[in-house]
Amino acid sequence: MYVTFSSSRPSRRHDGPVDFEPYRGELVAYCYRMLGSFHEAEDLVQETMLRAWKARDRYDRTRASVRTWLYRIATNACLTALEGRARRPLPSGLGAPSDDPGAPLTPAFDIPWLQPFPDARYDTRYDTEVRADLRLALVAAMQVLPPRQRAVLVLREVLEFSAAEVATQLETTVPAVNSALQRARAALADVGDPGEVPEPDDPEVRAVIQRYMRAFEAADVPALVRLLTDGAVLEMPPVPLWYRGSGDYGLFMRRVFEMRGTGWAVRLLTANGQPALAAYAPEPGGGQRLHTLQVLTVTGGRIAHNVVFADPSVFEAFGLPRQISSDECRRER
């Protein structure tokens, strides 16, 4: 829950009211890219709005637009928050894949894991470019960049501020901004173009996801494996393990279904501009309880990557009910 900030009182050299609320959604997406945490992004945007509201009398529209001014405040807030802080990784960013599908599933809560972004909270599903730059793999790769390089990359490449505007926001020079942008691009050269990942509403993607959902609900491991690329990746924060290859993926899923039984229910949603599933495991007394949120990457008509989140704070961000019936899931499709 947050407080809205707008004022009918004009600022210095400003003829009308200053309204910050129209910028909240894009600022949350920006801070999320910077921090890798949806919850922290919302908190920092609230802080940004409060700072701007308190300083509204000093805002001068002849020097910068409201949007540029807010991004300067938000950038400073993000850089301060990131001082001395470890990056937010995914398990695949910490070491080699496991070759033991039966390895203990011990969570590592001391690691500040990357979180997914709930598209529906800020309507990013309506903006193709915003969705592309929120892809989970890209946000994970960006966490490796130094914070100021991260800011330059997002402000220049995603938000399309000029080098001069970014230099003002970061209190540096245009040559320094251009140099930081080149280094950031070089560091992310192996990530690929996030725009090449199909949209969740692409007919081929929807067909693949629907088949995956049916196979998952039926605990049909061979059917799941047929939908995977040969090198499919499965990772499960906060458990630091991850697997590569459809064979190990299938063996691990067989283990999950043996542990939790059959009769799963799956709810379809989106996260980071990608298809996502809320998986509900069967309860001994009937019904299903929320188990994981899975964010999938579909390429070439197959599932290439599945990041499975089991953190309750992630469930809260998506507003997911803790219990649901199979009939409810089917009615939503």
Q: What are phi and psi of 63, to 5 degrees?
A: -105, -30
- Tell me whether the CATH fold assigned to 1-85 matches the one assigned to 197-332: no
Q: Return the pLDDT at 34.
A: 96
The tens digit of pLDDT for each residue in 186-199 reads: 998 877 666 667 78
As a whole number, mean pLDDT of residues 87-116 equals: 94
The tens digit of pLDDT for each residue in 173-232 reads: 999 999 999 999 999 887 766 666 778 889 999 999 999 999 999 999 999 999 999 999
Q: Where are the domains of the chain?
A: 1-85, 197-332
Task: For residue 222, give Cα distances in angstroms to 64, 233, 242, 254.
Answer: 58, 17, 20, 9
Q: Residues 6 or more apart from 137 whose CB is under 8 A from it?
A: 191, 192, 194, 297, 305
The tens digit of pLDDT for each residue in 45-97 reads: 999 999 999 988 888 887 888 999 999 999 999 999 999 888 999 999 999 99
Place of tokens 């929120």: 134
Q: Which of 16-25, 163-172, 258-267, 284-293 has the lowest mean pLDDT?
A: 16-25
As a whole number, mean pLDDT of residues 233-253 equals: 96
Q: What class does CATH assign to 1-85?
A: mainly alpha
Stretch (H or E) spanning 291? strand 288-299
Q: How would CATH label the architecture of 197-332?
A: Roll (3.10)
Backbone angle region of 84, left / alpha / beta, with phi > 0 → left and psi within -120 to 50 → alpha:
left
